[in-house]
Amino acid sequence: MAKEIKRCISVAACVLIVAALSWYNCTNISAKDETASAVKTSEKAADTEKGKGATPAAAEQQIAPVSQEKAEKEIVREAKKELEKKPAVSEGQRTSPQQEKKAEEKAAAEPKEEAKQQVAVPEKKEKETVEKPKTEVKQEAAVAPEKTKTCPVTTKEEATAYPTDKRTIQQIISELTGRKVGPDNSGDSYPGGLTATYTTPEQVLPGEGKFGKLFSFLPVIKWYDPDHYYTPNLTVSGEFKHEECLLCHTVQTPGIVAQWKKSKHAVTQKGVVGCDKCHGNNHQQLYMPSWKHCGECHPEQKGGHLGGKLGSHTYAFHISAVETPWQIAKPAAEVTGCAACHGIAENRCDGCHTRHDFSLAEARKPNNCGICHTGLDHYEYEMYRESYHGMIYEAEQDSWDWTKPMKPENYKTPTCAYCHMKDGEHNAQKASTINSHMGTDLVDRGAPKFKESRQNWINTCKGCHSPRFAADQLEAMDEAVKVSFTKWREAMKIVVDLYNEGMLDPMPGDLAPDYAGHYTFSLLGGEGRMYNVSDVERISFEMLVYITNAVYKAMAHGAMYGATYGKGAFLQDRWLVQIKAEASRLRRIKALEDRVGIKHKAYDFWKHGEYTDLLLGWKRKPGDVDKAACKHEGEHCLVE
C-alpha cells in the first residue's frame, strides 16, 4: 500500500512539474521573443567579434537563458521535497522495514529520473542553440505564432453528390447476394422485396372532379362509385323476372338469396322489392344500385342524405376524397382504402345497412359506424367505446331489442345513430354545430352564436341526464379544445420561425413538388401532409391532425382517458417536446455550419427516389385542372 501511495505522489509530482513548466513557458512567451531578438543582435555582434578573436560559442554564452534554467531547477527542487514527505500509514497497511526501505529507494529514484528528463530538454535545446544558433532561432520564431492560433472561417459548400453510388438498391443487393432482379408481378419471391422492380397496375380508371385528369383509380372503384364506373360484363343474355333471378341465384349465390328473404324487401305493403327492381332485368345491362335507385322508394331518406354540406356524407367522396391531396397525389394502389370508405359513405346506402337484408337494427349499432369513423384523424368509434356510453353498450347490447326506434325508453345508453340521426334523420350533419374539418379548426361551440345548436345538444342529453350536467360536460369540451390549441400554436411558432430563417431540413424547394406542382410550405399556404416534408413538419402535422383533433373527439364523446393519457393532451406534450428538440438540433447544427463556413444543401434523396418519383407533383402541366368541375359551392376550395 505504501508503494502505491508513493507512486501516486510521484505521478502527482510529475503533473505539478509539467504544469509549472507550462505556466512558466506561457508567462515568458514575450521573454522568449525578446531573447530571439537579442540572438539576432548577438549574431551580428559575434560576426563582428570574429575578427577580434572572439568565438561564436563565447558570443552565444552572453545570451544564454540563465533565468529560465534557474527557474527549472527551483521547480525540480520543490518536487523533490514533496516526494520526501512520508504518508501516514494505518496499522493494517504497515509494511516491513525492509520493504519500506526498498520502496523509498525506488520512489526516490523515480523522481530523480523524471527530473533528469525534465531538465534534459532545455539542456539539449541550449546545446543545439550553441551549435546552430541561427537555425534554432528561426524555429522558435516559426513556432511562436501557434500560441495565438484561431480556427479560420472558410467559405466552402458541403458536397451534395449523395449518393456517390449510382446503382439502384436492386443492383446493390443483387451483387451482394446473387439474387436476380425482376418485376414484382412475376410471381417470384423476392426476400425483403429488395431486388424487385415496381410495375404499375395493368388497368386503371380515370379520376373524377377538377383533378380528374391527374389521377386514377384501380378497377375496384366500380363497386364504390357504381354510377360512374360500373359496367356489366356477364356472358348470360336475356331479360328475366324476379322469380327467375331467384331460381338461378339460389345456386350461384345462395347467401345473397338467403339475406334477401330475411329482409323487408321480401314482403312489403307495396309488394315484393325483387332483384329486377334494384338491378334491372336485362342481364347485359345490369347496374349496381346507388342512392339514386334507393331514393325512388325512399325519397325522405334520400333528401336527408343529400342535405349535408362540406364535411358530411353528402360530399364524402366527390370532394373529401377526389380533391384531397393525399388521394390524388399518391399512387392509386396506395389510397384505394381511402377511396373505398369515402365512396361507400356518399354513393351507396348499404354502407350503413348492408345488402341484402338491409337491417335497421344493424344500422343502429355503433360498430357499423366504426367501419369508417376510426383511427388517427377520426377517432370517433374508439372514443365512444372508451366512454361510459360505450362500456354499457358493450356489456348490455345483446339484451336490447334493436328493432325498436332510438328512444330513451328503448335503450339504456345512446349510440351514434341516437345522437346524430335522431328520429331517422339521414343528414348526419344536421345535429352538428359547425364543420371544423375533423377538429383541425378551432371553434368555440359554446359561443353565443351557437346558442340554438348548444340547446339542441342539451335536449338530446336530457333523455338520461339533467340539463345542467349536460351543459357542464359540453363546456368542459369547449375549454379542453381551446387549451389544446395553445400547444399547437406554440409548436407552430417554433416551426414557422425555422421556415422563415431557412432552417428547415429540407426546405420546401428541396423536396419533390407538391400536388399542385409547387414548392410551398406544407403547413401554411400548401396542403398539410405527412409525407414529402421535413421531419419537423411531419411531427407538426401529426400533432394537429392526429392529436389536437383527438382532444376534441374524446371530450365530445365522454372519453376521459382518451382526452388525456390515451390519445390527447399528454400526447400533445410529447409531440411538442419533439418539435422543440428538433428545432434545437437544427439551430445548433446551423450555428456550427456558419462557424466553419459550410453552406449545406439538402441531399437529393429528399427530392427523388423510387417512390418519391411516383408523386403527382412531377406530372403537373398548365391547364390540367378543370375548374368548372369544382363542387365546393362557395366553401373554401383546395389551393391551386
Supply the pLDDT for residue 373.
95
Supply the pLDDT for residue 190.
97
- Percentage of the residues of the chain whose pLDDT score is greater than 70: 73
The mean pLDDT value for 548-568 works out to 96
Cα–Cα distance measured from residue 218 to residue 213, given in angstroms and rounded to the nearest whole number: 15
The answer for residues whose C-beta is within 8 angstroms of residue 470's C-beta and 6 or more apart is 457, 458, 461, 462
Q: How confident is the model at residue 6 (pLDDT cuts 50, 70, 90)?
A: very low
CATH code of the domain covering residue 482: 1.20.850.10
The mean pLDDT value for 586-608 works out to 95
Cα–Cα distance measured from residue 522 to residue 514, given in angstroms and rounded to the nearest whole number: 8
Q: Please check the confidence at residue 143 and state whether its pLDDT lies above 90.
A: no
144-168 pLDDT per residue, tens: 444 444 444 444 555 455 678 999 9
Q: Please check the confidence at residue 409 and state whether its pLDDT lies above 70.
A: yes
C-alpha cell at position 296: 325512388
* β-strands 182-183, 196-197 pairing: parallel
The answer for residues whose C-beta is within 8 angstroms of residue 560's C-beta and 6 or more apart is 386, 387, 554
Residue 624: inside a domain, yes or no?
A: no
Residue 199: inside a domain, yes or no?
A: no
Residue 412: inside a domain, yes or no?
A: no
Residue of 419, 395, 393 whose CA lies nearest to 406: 419
State which amino acid sits at residue 532.
N
Residue 90 phi/psi, 5° resolution? -70, 170
Supply the pLDDT for residue 44.
47
Q: Please check the confidence at residue 224 and state whether its pLDDT lies above 80.
A: yes
Q: Is 122 helix (H, G, I), strand (E, B) or coil?
A: helix
The helix (run of H) or strand (run of E) holding residue 196 is: strand 196-197
Supply the pLDDT for residue 63.
39
Supply the pLDDT for residue 628.
80
490-521 pLDDT per residue, tens: 999 999 999 999 999 999 999 999 998 999 99
Report the C-alpha dihedral over residues 51, 54, 55, 60, rounded to 10 degrees. -120
Label residue 255 exposed, middle or buried (CB < 10 Å: 0-12, 13-18, 19+): exposed
Residue 393: inside a domain, yes or no?
A: no
Packing angle, helices 242-252 and 254-262, rounded to 10: 130
Residue of 442, 411, 403 whose CA lies nearest to 549: 442
Helix residue spans in 403-515 (DSSP H): 416-420, 451-461, 467-500
186-207 pLDDT per residue, tens: 999 999 999 999 999 999 999 9
Q: How confident is the model at residue 271 (pLDDT cuts 50, 70, 90)?
A: confident
| Final residue belonging to a domain, choices 120, 149, 178 | 149
Q: How confident is the model at residue 440 (pLDDT cuts 50, 70, 90)?
A: very high
Q: Please check the confidence at residue 82 and state whether its pLDDT lies above 90.
A: no
C-alpha cell at position 565: 393519457
Classify each residue of 513-526 as buried b or exposed e, where b means 16 or more C-beta atoms within 10 Å of its C-beta.
bbbbbbbbbbbeeb
Task: Calculate the average pLDDT of the chain.
Answer: 82
Q: Is 524 helix (H, G, I), strand (E, B) or coil?
A: coil
The mean pLDDT value for 596-618 works out to 95
- In sequence order, the β-bridge partners of residue 183 are 197
Residue of 52, 57, 53 whose CA lies nearest to 42: 57
Supply the pLDDT for residue 335.
96
| Final residue belonging to a domain, choices 122, 149, 176 | 149
Supply the pLDDT for residue 114.
41
Supply the pLDDT for residue 380.
96
Label residue 637 exposed, middle or buried (CB < 10 Å: 0-12, 13-18, 19+): middle
The mean pLDDT value for 261-273 works out to 88
Cα–Cα distance measured from residue 142 to residue 134, given in angstroms and rounded to the nearest whole number: 13
The mean pLDDT value for 435-445 works out to 94
Please tell me which residue, 143 or 563, carries the higher pLDDT value: 563
User: Using an 8 Å Cβ cutoff, are 450 and 458 in contact?
Assistant: no
The mean pLDDT value for 283-301 works out to 95
Residue 191: inside a domain, yes or no?
A: no
Cα–Cα distance measured from residue 316 to residue 314, given in angstroms and rounded to the nearest whole number: 6
Supply the pLDDT for residue 164.
83
Q: What is the number of domains present in the chain?
A: 2
Q: How confident is the model at residue 408 (pLDDT cuts 50, 70, 90)?
A: very high
Classify each residue of 286-309 as buried b or exposed e, where b means 16 or more C-beta atoms within 10 Å of its C-beta.
bbbbbbebbbeeeeebbebbbbbe
Supply the pLDDT for residue 154.
46
Supply the pLDDT for residue 562.
95
Q: Please check the confidence at residue 469 and state whether its pLDDT lies above 80.
A: yes
Supply the pLDDT for residue 138.
42
Please tell me which residue, 231 or 24, carries the higher pLDDT value: 231
Cα–Cα distance measured from residue 402 to residue 389, given in angstroms and rounded to the nearest whole number: 16
The mean pLDDT value for 13-19 works out to 46
The mean pLDDT value for 549-564 works out to 96
- Percentage of the residues of the chain whose pLDDT score is greater than 90: 67
Supply the pLDDT for residue 553.
97
The answer for residues whose C-beta is within 8 angstroms of residue 360's C-beta and 6 or more apart is 353, 402, 403
Q: Please check the confidence at residue 637 and state whether its pLDDT lies above 70.
A: no
Supply the pLDDT for residue 234.
86
Its domain, for residue 523, covers: 432-608
Residue 357 phi/psi, 5° resolution? -100, -15
| Final residue belonging to a domain, choices 106, 121, 149 | 149
Residue 156 phi/psi, 5° resolution? -135, 155
Q: How confident is the model at residue 106 (pLDDT cuts 50, 70, 90)?
A: low
Supply the pLDDT for residue 519.
93
Q: Please check the confidence at residue 606 and state whether its pLDDT lies above 60.
A: yes
Cell 334494384 sits at which residue?
278
The answer for residues whose C-beta is within 8 angstroms of residue 416's C-beta and 6 or more apart is 366, 368, 369, 373, 380, 384
Supply the pLDDT for residue 137.
39
Residue 32 phi/psi, 5° resolution? -65, -40
Please tell me which residue, 277 or 633, carries the higher pLDDT value: 277
Supply the pLDDT for residue 135.
41
pTM of the model: 0.74
Question: Do you know the residue count of the chain?
Answer: 640
Q: Please check the confidence at residue 601 and state whether its pLDDT lies above 70.
A: yes
Residue of 560, 555, 504, 572 whose CA lies nearest to 532: 504
User: Using an 8 Å Cβ cutoff, are 204 and 332 in contact?
Assistant: yes
Classify each residue of 605-620 as buried b or exposed e, where b means 16 or more C-beta atoms within 10 Å of its C-beta.
ebbeeeebebbbbeee
Q: Please check the confidence at residue 18 and state whether its pLDDT lies above 50.
A: no
Supply the pLDDT for residue 102.
54
C-alpha cell at position 339: 377511396
Supply the pLDDT for residue 157.
53
